Structure formats: structure tokens, C-alpha cells
Amino acid sequence: MHLRIWSLVMAALMLAACGTDTEAPAEAGADRSQETFRWTLVTTWPRNLPAVGTAPERLAEKVKVMSNGRLQIRVYGAGELVPAFEVFDAVAEGTAEMGHGAAYYWRGKIPIAAIFTSVPFGMTAQETNGWLHYGGGLELWQELYEPHGLVPLASGNTGTQMGGWFNKEINSVSDLRGLRIRIPGLGGDVYQRAGSTSVSLPGGEVYTSMQTGVIDATEWIGPYNDLALGLHRVGRYFYYPGWQEPSATLEAIVNKDAWDSLPDDLKLILKTATRAINQDMLDEFTARNAQALKTMVDEHGVELRRFPDDVLNAFREHSFAVLEDAAGRDDISQRIYDSYMSFLRDAQEYARFSEQAMMNVRQPPDDQ
Ligand code: CA
């Protein structure tokens, strides 16, 4: 409690020093091309953690250059201004103008928000981006956050994740009972239904929790980022496939009043830079994951394991139940679920004749 009060005091002091600073007040029809804005961005990620932690820094740099210095964003890593899991509230309350994190961290407040990060057995990054930007997904996300005074934008994607780190083998569904695993989002509920205990921890706490045995297993992202966190040193078996996060969208959230205060060109710059970062992160993970997995296996002796089919079947069944539970809570949740599932059905059908069909023939059958 003391820590929380202290962090709020610090936040107030730092904001007084470097918060919103509009140097030329707007008037209707006035030339706003000389107005400058100095914003604070708080993240759920450890500062400069590769890809997820560098994304907000890259976003801030792009926006600064594109706006010729008119919109300057100062980035604070998790715990520097507010704790990781207080980012949503800090931006909603205006303690910071922006945040960078993942929507599934807020599902305690808004259960359906998890869909905007990832859906177990759901869409790939490519399909998700199609849904968000050409399938009505982003509009629904913005409608969902509107009552909280926030404007969300897609701002990063990890691509398909790995199943996670386990210190004992998972050979059957009975091995899931009693397992203590760090996994946020809908995947966490799936493990709960399978008899495990799931917890949501920010990235900065995952390593220590595994090392001290507070948890028996954890998922984080995939080879590139997990190597950076050192998870290969605290987990023995690296499981696949990452059914729980076939892709994961990261979010940039903007305080609605701060958003409304921007002139149109800065709004467009922020949207465009965010969209660029959304793709940039996926490109970085795509480029680095393969090499990182080789490093893990060849240099660190990491053992890869595939979840058995009966375990995957159980995960899939629980996933549908978990999703329907989140959807049935209110009208907006149901509409988000319906929109996602309808897009997924079409994407899945098309994939049979496109990516999936091509992937199946890319290698000779003996090599698959
Ligand atoms: Ca994950």
C-alpha cells in the first residue's frame, strides 16, 4: 500500500515536471501547426526488453521525427512511474497520456478485452490484422474502451508463440492437475478448467517466480523474447505449439481527452506510426525467433516437446467454453465474440486453400 501511494506521489511529481504541455492554446479555426505536446507513456514491459519493450521507444521516436518535434512522448518502463498492471488505470485517469501493453491484462475489469490480444486456437497475426483493420475489429475495440476514456490502437504483434516452459513433462491431461502456471488471458482460464492454477504475472516477475518455484511452468512469448528473459535457465522443457496465443496483438492506449486535444495531422501521425510499429514488431520476431531457437537448443541444451494430441484436444474443448463464457456477459461482449468468430471461420476456410495448403507442400512429406 505504501509503495502504491509512493508511486502515485512520484507519478504526480514527474508529471508536474514533464507532463502535457501545450505551448499554444487552440482556437477554433486557428493555425495549430506550431503547437507542441509533451506526453508521458507508461508500459507493462521491462524497459528496453527486445521487441515488446523497444516498441514504445521506437513509436516515440517515429512520432517525434514525423511531427517535427511537435509531439514528444517520454517512455517509462514497468514500475518506473506506475506498476505494470496499473497502466490501464493510469492512462484512463490521465496520470499518463499513453500506455503500451496488452488488452488481456485488463480482463479483470473487462473480460472480453482478452480477445483483442489473443484467442486460443484463434487467428494468426496476418488474420488478426485483417480483422482489426478491414473486418471491423478495431472499431469494436474502440467502442469497448470508450466508457473508460481510452482510445486503443494495435501496436505490435508477437506472431505465433510457443506453448511455454515446464519443469516436468506433460504426457497426459492428468499432468495438468495441480500445475501452477503463469499464463494470462483466456489461456489461463483454459488451464484452470483443466485443473491447474494459473496466474498472470508481468514479464519482469516471470524469471524469479520460476527460479524460486512459486510457479512450476510459464509461458511468455517465444524463442527471441524468452531467451532475452533467460527463461531457458529456469525451465527444462520448451513446449509447442503455442495454442494459447496463435498470435498476440499489443496495444497502445491513449487517454481520450489527450487524443481529442491533438490536431488532425498529429492524430494521423500517431495512428500511422502505431500501425507501422504493429507490423515492425512482427517482422522483428519473424527474423529473430528461428535463430534464437537454434541458440537455445544447440548452445543451452533446451529440450523441445510437443503437447500430446489428447492434451491439445482438451485445451481446445475448454477454450470454446471459456470464450462463450466471456461472450455471454453483455451486448458488446457478444458482438465482439460474434465478429471475431465469423472472421475466424472465413479465414480458416480460406487458409485451407492458401497459407495452410502452401505450408503443407513447402517441404517434401518426409521432412514434415
Ligand atoms: Ca504469451
The pLDDT confidence band at residue 7, using thresholds 50, 70 and 90, is low
Distance 64 CA to ligand 1 centre (A): 30
Q: What pLDDT does 146 receive?
A: 98
Distance 58 CA to ligand 1 centre (A): 22
Which H, E and C letters describe the chain, residue by residue? CHHHHHHHHHHHHHHHHHCCCCCCCCCCCCCCCCCCEEEEEEECCCCCCCCCCHHHHHHHHHHHHHCCCCEEEEEECCCCCCCHHHHHHHHHCCCCCEEEECHHHHCCCCHHHHHHCCCCCCCCHHHHHHHHHHCCHHHHHHHHHHHHCEEEEEEEECCCCCCEEECCCCCCHHHHCCCEEECCHHHHHHHHHCCCEEECCCHHHHHHHHHCCCCCEECCCCHHHHHHHCHHHCCCEEEECCCCCCCCEEEEEEEHHHHHHCCHHHHHHHHHHHHHHHHHHHHHHHHHHHHHHHHHHHHHCCEEEECCHHHHHHHHHHHHHHHHHHHCCCHHHHHHHHHHHHHHHHHHHHHCCCHHHHHHHHCCHHHC
103, 112 Cβ separation under 8 angstroms = no
Amino acid code (one letter) for 340: Y
Distance 356 CA to ligand 1 centre (A): 23
Domain boundaries, the chain: 37-160+247-286
Q: What is the average pLDDT across 250-276?
A: 98
- Burial of 265: CB neighbours in 10 Å, binned 0-12, 13-18, 19+: middle
Q: What pLDDT does 284 receive?
A: 97
Q: What is the average pLDDT across 143-148?
A: 98
Distance 44 CA to ligand 1 centre (A): 13
Distance 245 CA to ligand 1 centre (A): 6
Q: What pLDDT does 1 receive?
A: 41
Q: What pLDDT does 90 receive?
A: 98
Distance 99 CA to ligand 1 centre (A): 19
Distance 129 CA to ligand 1 centre (A): 18
Decide if pLDDT at 13 tops 90: no
Residues above pLDDT 70, as percent of the chain: 91
Distance CA 156, CA 181 (A): 25
Distance 226 CA to ligand 1 centre (A): 10
Residues contacting 252, CB < 8 A, separation 6+? 56, 59, 98, 99, 100, 152, 153, 154, 155, 274, 277
Distance 367 CA to ligand 1 centre (A): 28
Q: What pLDDT does 368 receive?
A: 54
Residues above pLDDT 90, as percent of the chain: 88
Q: What pLDDT does 17 receive?
A: 43
Distance 183 CA to ligand 1 centre (A): 7
Q: What is the pLDDT of residues 56-100, one digit of tens each?
A: 999 999 999 999 999 999 999 999 999 999 999 999 999 999 999
Distance 87 CA to ligand 1 centre (A): 18
Distance 347 CA to ligand 1 centre (A): 22
Distance 32 CA to ligand 1 centre (A): 42
The pLDDT confidence band at residue 48, using thresholds 50, 70 and 90, is confident
Distance 33 CA to ligand 1 centre (A): 41
Q: What is the pLDDT of residues 201-257, one digit of tens each?
A: 999 999 999 999 999 999 999 999 999 999 999 999 999 999 999 999 999 999 999
Distance 246 CA to ligand 1 centre (A): 9
Distance 260 CA to ligand 1 centre (A): 33
Distance 119 CA to ligand 1 centre (A): 11
Q: What is the pLDDT of residues 17-33, one digit of tens each?
A: 444 445 555 566 688 88
CA proximity to 102, closest of 266, 278, 336: 278
Q: What pLDDT does 25 receive?
A: 52
Distance 225 CA to ligand 1 centre (A): 10
CA proximity to 167, closest of 206, 240, 217, 208: 217
Decide if pLDDT at 364 tops 80: no
Distance 336 CA to ligand 1 centre (A): 21
Q: What is the pLDDT of residues 149-188, one digit of tens each?
A: 999 999 999 999 999 999 999 999 999 999 999 999 999 9
Q: What is the average pLDDT across 281-287?
A: 98
Q: What pLDDT does 4 receive?
A: 52
Distance 180 CA to ligand 1 centre (A): 16
Superfamily classification of domain 37-160+247-286: Bacterial extracellular solute-binding protein, family 7 (3.40.190.170)
